[in-house]
Amino acid sequence: MKTRIILFAALSFGVLTNVEAQNSTYQVQKDIVFASPEGFDLTMDIYTPDTDKEQYPVVVIWHGGGWLINTNEIMDEMSQYLAEIGEFVVCNVNYRLLGDQNNTVTLNEIVEDVFGSLLWIKANIASYKGDPEQIAITGDSAGGHLTAMVIAQGHALESDGFDGLSYGFNPTWLPEGKTAEEVANNNGLKVQAAIPSYGVFNMILRAEQGFETAKNGFWEWGGAKPRGLFGASFNANEHPEMYKAASPIHNIADTSDTKYPPMFFHVGSEDSTTPPETVVAYVSKLKEAGHPVEYKVYEGLKHAYLDNGCNDYFQQCFDEDAVPVINDMIEFLNKHLIRN
């Protein structure tokens, strides 16, 4: 796997690889490979509280970074806090970035990595003392988008992915002997709660705002050549249905057909990357459709306030700015996840 850039973060500890680390309150197994699409290893770190309980509810995290930068390391402190203070089994997950595999990865493939990671977790988390029937998902920024995609499009699974007549997703990892369609029919991506943190929910709008052009600084940081999210031959004007398929705001289910799990959305009042009004646009539509939604704006916070360490660019630090938010997240999760 290629080296990636950790943007706007100051990591407060070293990274362990392929070993089990522990302290007095949790253990962590690093770099667990859950899938290898075209030989590209996808990994996650799993944190288990070190108490005498036999099982814990699970929190799955997908990191942010504009689908272009960062790894799951950016969420290490959050993962530790949720395991230690919240007493959750925490899965901190990597997925492919747009610049990976010679700048050929597409957004639908990233979604497929995320779907595959959740299916792997459901099949294997009991070995890490996690309860596969009590899973919450979360992610920030791009990870917030991916979290919302599980809820909005977790049923839209197709073996031919985006190559067929319709746009569906073929998870990178599938249970042995199961097809994408069979997983969808069994509601295989069902979760019990979701927390999309300052996420992106409208990919057409994001493209119109210039995300796919060279003017967007993320491409330079990510080291990838600017192009369409679904490849150089595609754009939102000529192929809107592709972008809609990857946009949670364009795929809100009717409650008579699908009941969403409880969701908690939050954003900083000073966030200019995913401004509160863009989050409210999605939250309002979910409420109008009758889905269970909570929403909170954190006054004075900018973007990426859940990241590790101190962020000089945004003038935010984990201990001061992230911890109060994560405490609210824990309170929300404790309302909706059952502990044995």
Q: What is the pLDDT of residues 87-132, one digit of tens each?
A: 999 999 999 999 999 999 999 999 999 999 999 999 999 999 999 9
Q: What is the pLDDT of residues 285-339, one digit of tens each?
A: 999 999 999 999 999 999 999 999 999 999 999 999 999 999 999 999 999 999 9
Mean pLDDT of the chain: 92
Structural domains present in the chain? 20-336 (3.40.50.1820)
Q: What is the pLDDT of residues 52-90, one digit of tens each?
A: 999 999 999 999 999 999 999 999 999 999 999 999 999
Q: What is the pTM of this model?
A: 0.93
- Map tokens 């401004």 to a residue: 275
